[in-house]
Amino acid sequence: MKICVVGAGYVGLVAALSFAKYKNDVICVDKDIKKVKQLNKGIPTIYEEGLEPLLNKCLKKKYILFTDNINKAISLSDVIMIAVGTPTKPDWSVDISQVVDASVEISKEIDKYKVIIIKSTVPVGTHEVVENLLLKNGVDRNNFDVVSNPEFLREGRALNDFLHGDRMVIGCKSEKAQKVMDELYSPFKTKIINTNPPTAELIKYASNALLATKISFINEMANLCSKVDANIDTLSYGLGLDSRISPEFLRAGIGYGGSCFPKDTKALVNIGEKYGCEFNIIRSTIKVNENQRLKPVEILLDHYNKIEGKTISLLGLTFKPGTDDIRDAPSLFIIDELLQMGARIRCYDPMVSEEIKSLFPNITYCDSIEDTVRDSYCTIICTELDEFFKMDLESIAKKMKKRVLIDGRNMIDIEEARKSGFSYYYSIGNGSF
């Protein structure tokens, strides 16, 4: 099939490469010419397992091409997938302007039947916005169908999730488009759910909101565990064994971050409001998470009363392991709060990028765990990176000014922390001393 993917961001790039893997003729468009040139050279623009070899293989076989010429790419394709960003605005409404812009370009290039797939996460009803725009711009009704086809990929496992995900949701109103979608996804080993576009659009938000809610729920339980000497790991395990609940997304910590949960939960509340639905549970999920990501600061204040002038070290900055993404990462909120209180910050993350450095130019970025913790009054683990599981706790404790460890991701065994010479240890519901 001839496929044009509009947007070479996280979702667009993964989708484009997945289709190219199955020998489709893929043109991936992005207006960022620097990105286009880099991708055409086989250099990934994001870190994602398995992406680099697949990109190079597909480029070599000419199954994929990157361009900034959207009009040519659209005119050459039978299927156009919109995979552009849909950021949440400060009032929590969703900015679909990039979807609209792409649709305007699409409307200029339709002279024969094309299927337009909305891959971006969009508010319910966006398929109609796109349809109406095309009709308003004079496109013949028989020359297009709009399909809603949300993605459920996780950063770090995006390729695997795209190719072998739990499900593929297709919201389609026409039989003709349904046939094209069936063919497009026939090589994928995933369960297909065929439904109407509004349901497809909503499944995406509902899925992220429910996962975020599980995390906030377990974090509230963890905060109680901390007070009554209960153990959140065992509690999560006991909960998760109930097959109606599942063990996934029951890991307590300093809250969720990333480009999806924070934005999609707020967007869903905003969408609900438009239809008179309160979404009280999701509002609480958001509130709990906002408090949870500042838990280490609360614990520090309890311990020291005053943080001004003290050096605090942070281990891990990204919102989760396996990515270089810091969007809405709990670490950013912690750094911001600590800086306001006058703390000096040293931090370590092997994925640290210039982007992070430019966000906080006044903190010290170190190259090793041991260098980071030097002379600090507290070490806070913000991301559960593999190397933190293996770190030499005794040597770390010795290098610190005060042997205080806040384990924001429940990685360290409490007895290990005690034996290693820490004087104060706090986890999120997994014990403290």
Q: Which residues define the annotated binding site?
A: 30, 35, 86, 121, 152-155, 204, 249-253, 257, 263, 320, 327
Tokens of 99: 């979807």
Which CB, 262 or 377, lies closer to ligand UGA? 262
DSSP 346-396: EEE-TT--HHHHHH-TTSEE-SSHHHHHTT-SEEEE-S--HHHHS--HHHH
Under rule CB under 6 A, which residues in 130-169 are in contact with ligand UGA?
151-155
Q: Give me the residues paired with residue 25 across strands.
A: 2
Cβ at position 274, least distance to ligand UGA in Å: 21
User: At 11, phi and psi to the nearest 5?
Assistant: -70, -45
- The reply on whether position 319 binds ligand UGA by CB under 6 A is yes
Tell me if 291 sits within 8 A of 312, measured CB to CB.
no
- The reply on whether position 83 binds ligand UGA by CB under 6 A is no
Closest C-alpha among 130, 133, 123 to residue 146: 130
Tell me if 182 sits within 8 A of 176, measured CB to CB.
no
Which CB, 217 or 348, lies closer to ligand UGA? 217
Among 9, 257, 296, 431, binds ligand UGA (CB under 6 A): 257
- The reply on whether position 266 binds ligand UGA by CB under 6 A is no
- The reply on whether position 250 binds ligand UGA by CB under 6 A is yes
Residues making up the binding site for substrate: 152-155, 204, 249-253, 257, 320
| Interface stretch with ligand UGA, choices 47-55, 94-102, 253-261, 385-393 (CB under 6 A) | 253-261
- The reply on whether position 81 binds ligand UGA by CB under 6 A is no
Half-sphere exposure of 78 (CA within 13 A, CB side): 11
Which CB, 197 or 253, lies closer to ligand UGA? 253
Residues making up the binding site for NAD(+): 30, 35, 86, 121, 155, 263, 327
- The reply on whether position 7 binds ligand UGA by CB under 6 A is no
Cα separation, 137 vs 216, whole angstroms: 45
Tokens of 63: 């199954």
- The reply on whether position 13 binds ligand UGA by CB under 6 A is no
Task: Give all strands (DSSP E) within 2-91, no chain letters.
Answer: 2-6, 25-29, 64-67, 79-82
Cβ at position 49, least distance to ligand UGA in Å: 12
Tell me if 131 sits within 8 A of 143, measured CB to CB.
no
Asked whether the CA dihedral 339, 344, 350, 352 is positive or negative, the reply is positive
Among 208, 285, 376, 430, binds ligand UGA (CB under 6 A): 208
- The reply on whether position 260 binds ligand UGA by CB under 6 A is yes
- The reply on whether position 296 binds ligand UGA by CB under 6 A is no
- The reply on whether position 253 binds ligand UGA by CB under 6 A is yes
- The reply on whether position 118 binds ligand UGA by CB under 6 A is no
- Which residues are catalytic, by number? 260
Which CB, 205 or 377, lies closer to ligand UGA? 205
**351 to 91, 191, 368, 372: CA distances (angstroms):** 31, 34, 12, 15
Nearest 5°: the CA angle 79, 85, 88 is 140
Name the site residues for ligand UGA (rule: CB under 6 A): 151-155, 208, 211, 215, 249-251, 253, 256-258, 260-261, 264, 319-320
